[in-house]
């Protein structure tokens, strides 16, 4: 009875923080400082040797604090806490989800390389893959959730040797399409060679870090927009990358030189948010069950995209059972009609806010085709079901009856 490995939610208030180093303060203060004083020149030299990878850490040596672009207590403690949920070796926190994602892509891809990526992905990610990376001679090849391992391998049979990264967003934003991570691992393994690993990176923003743990299903790295559930209050922008040490060392080094780490104030806000992560997400998911039930039978609703409604026996349902612990709190639906009807609904909401972003305490509604995904090619939008009828909801922590009341009165206006 002397030892117990506590659940992550029990450790979010204390893990990695030593009050005696901060005048006994129960909460980690905000270390609003650019640089840290060395006790001696020898100490400064030793810290730099480790930070710049000139030598390995000694068995009991901790990397000392140097300069807030390299490390800062608000980020280090936050990173240790984030690792607990996904059981990751290491974590690096970024100034935004996009900076986390673009740093991973820039680290693992070089001119001439190809990235396989799941479609659809978040609009900003789609833009980076299809508009920015090609300028550096890097090509993206997309695959959908319906394709099999053989079909995916067939897409790349000519240029197998150039694939360096498989990037997967699951569930996909905004359709909730699920991708099989073990299948992605299989694809990566079958094109990896003795001297070149193909890295699998998963955007876990929709389900993590509570309900999906990609590292257990073969992923090497996880990226988050911490702006969403992890931050959870629509009051900050941040991102994170987690995963295996051998890859995280590379990600952290590029972060040091791009200088896109989060600041101490953002780190502090995220630690505050992590304390309530589980209660928030659990309440949001419970509310969403009720909202889905309501939408399912509404005569003005054509189709509901919710992970709790997947047909038993379907491939999507099999992936759900294997990979996810919960149906989550994101729900989309096709309204009968088109843009006009969707806009009328959105303009009539009284409690829910009309805004992009997701995962926050307040419920949000938006129109992917003209907002978050307006930059995705028309061809891909049609292929993936991002039509003018589609409305996306992020369910918050309000009383579910109030949310349903709001949806009902807005649908009446249509």
Ligand X SMILES: *Cc1c(COP(=O)(O)O)cnc(C)c1O
* Binding interface with ligand X (CB under 6 A): 96-98, 122, 124-125, 169, 173, 203, 205, 225, 227-228, 237, 239, 358
Return the percent helix, strand and coil in the chain, to nearest 5: 40, 15, 45
Nearer to ligand X by C-beta: 341 or 366? 366
Do residues 239 and 96 touch, judged by C-beta distance below 8 A? yes
CB of 295 to ligand X, least distance (A): 21
CA-to-CA distance for 412 and 414, rounded, in angstroms? Answer: 5
Residue 203 or 366: the one with the smaller Cβ distance to ligand X is 203
Q: How far is the CB of 237 from ligand X (least distance, A)?
A: 5
Residue with the closest Cβ to ligand X?
Answer: 97
What span, in angstroms and rounded, lies between the C-alpha atoms of 59 and 51? 15
Q: Is 144 exposed, middle or buried (0-12, 13-18, 19+ CB in 10 A)?
A: middle
Pull the structure tokens for residue 216: 């257990």
What is the DSSP annotation of 246-296?
HHHHHHHHHHHHHT-BPPHHHHHHHHHHHHTHHHHHHHHHHHHHHHHHHHH
The least CB distance from residue 225 to ligand X, in Å, is 3
Please say which residue, 124 or 385, places its beta carbon nearer to ligand X.
Answer: 124
Task: Decide whether 86 or 169 has the Cβ nearer to ligand X.
Answer: 169
Shortest reach from residue 174's CB to ligand X, in Å? 9
* CB of 248 vs ligand X, minimal distance in Å: 19
The C-alpha atoms of residue 103 and residue 94 are separated, in whole angstroms, by 9
Which H or E run contains 197? Answer: none
Please state the closest distance from residue 226 (CB atom) to ligand X, in A: 7
Smaller CB distance to ligand X: residue 141 or 237? Answer: 237
Measured from the CB atom, the residue of 240 and 291 that comes closer to ligand X is 240
In the bound complex, what is the minimum distance in angstroms from residue 171's beta carbon to ligand X? Answer: 9
Instruction: CB nearer to ligand X: give 46 or 376.
Output: 376
Question: Positive or negative CA dihedral for 74, 233, 277, 229?
Answer: negative
User: Is 378 in a helix, a strand, or coil?
Assistant: helix
Two tokens at 15? Answer: 């893990």
Q: How far is the CB of 177 from ligand X (least distance, A)?
A: 13
Q: Give the relative orientation of helices 264-275 and 73-86 as an angle to the nearest 10 degrees.
A: 40
Question: What does the chain come to in residues?
Answer: 414
Strand 221-225 with 199-203, pairing:
parallel
Nearest CB to ligand X, comparing residues 93 and 407: 93
């Amino acid at each position: 009875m002397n030892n117990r490995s506590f659940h992550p939610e029990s450790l979010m208030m204390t893990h990695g923080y030593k009050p005696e180093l901060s005048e006994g303060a129960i909460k980690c203060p905000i270390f609003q400082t650019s640089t840290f004083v060395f006790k001696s020149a020898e100490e400064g030299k030793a810290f730099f040797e480790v930070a710049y990878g000139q030598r390995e850490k000694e068995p009991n040596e901790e990397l000392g604090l140097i300069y807030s672009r390299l490390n800062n207590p608000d980020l280090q403690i936050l990173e240790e806490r984030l690792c607990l949920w996904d059981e990751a070796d290491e974590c690096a926190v970024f100034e935004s989800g996009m900076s986390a994602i673009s740093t991973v892509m820039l680290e693992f891809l070089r001119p001439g390389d190809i990235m396989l990526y799941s479609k659809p992905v978040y609009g900003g990610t789609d833009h980076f893959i299809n508009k920015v990376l090609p300028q550096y001679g890097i090509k993206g090849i997309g695959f959908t959730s319906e394709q099999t391992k053989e079909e995916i391998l067939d897409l790349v049979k000519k240029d197998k040797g150039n694939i360096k990264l498989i990037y997967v967003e699951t569930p996909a934003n905004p359709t909730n399409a699920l991708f099989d991570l073990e299948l992605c691992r299989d694809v990566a393994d079958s094109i990896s060679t003795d001297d070149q690993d193909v890295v699998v990176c998963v955007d876990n923003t929709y389900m993590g870090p509570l309900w999906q743990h990609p590292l257990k299903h073969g992923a090497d790295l996880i990226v988050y927009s911490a702006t969403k559930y992890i931050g959870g209050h629509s009051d900050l922008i941040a991102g994170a990358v987690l995963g295996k040490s051998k890859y995280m060392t590379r990600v952290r080094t590029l972060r040091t030189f791009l200088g896109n780490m989060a600041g101490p104030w953002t780190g502090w806000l995220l630690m505050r948010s992590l304390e309530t992560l589980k209660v928030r997400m659990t309440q949001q998911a419970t509310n969403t069950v009720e909202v889905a039930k309501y939408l399912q039978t509404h005569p003005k609703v054509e189709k509901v995209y919710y992970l709790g409604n997947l047909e038993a026996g379907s491939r999507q349902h099999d992936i759900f059972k294997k990979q996810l612990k919960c149906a989550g709190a994101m729900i989309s639906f096709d309204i009968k009609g088109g843009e006009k009807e969707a806009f009328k609904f959105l303009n009539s909401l009284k409690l829910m806010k009309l805004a992009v972003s997701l995962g926050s305490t307040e419920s949000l509604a938006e129109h992917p085709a003209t907002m978050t995904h307006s930059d995705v090619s028309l061809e891909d939008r049609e292929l993936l079901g991002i039509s003018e009828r589609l409305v996306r909801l992020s369910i918050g922590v309000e009383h579910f009856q109030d949310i349903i009341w709001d949806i009902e009165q807005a649908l009446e206006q249509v």
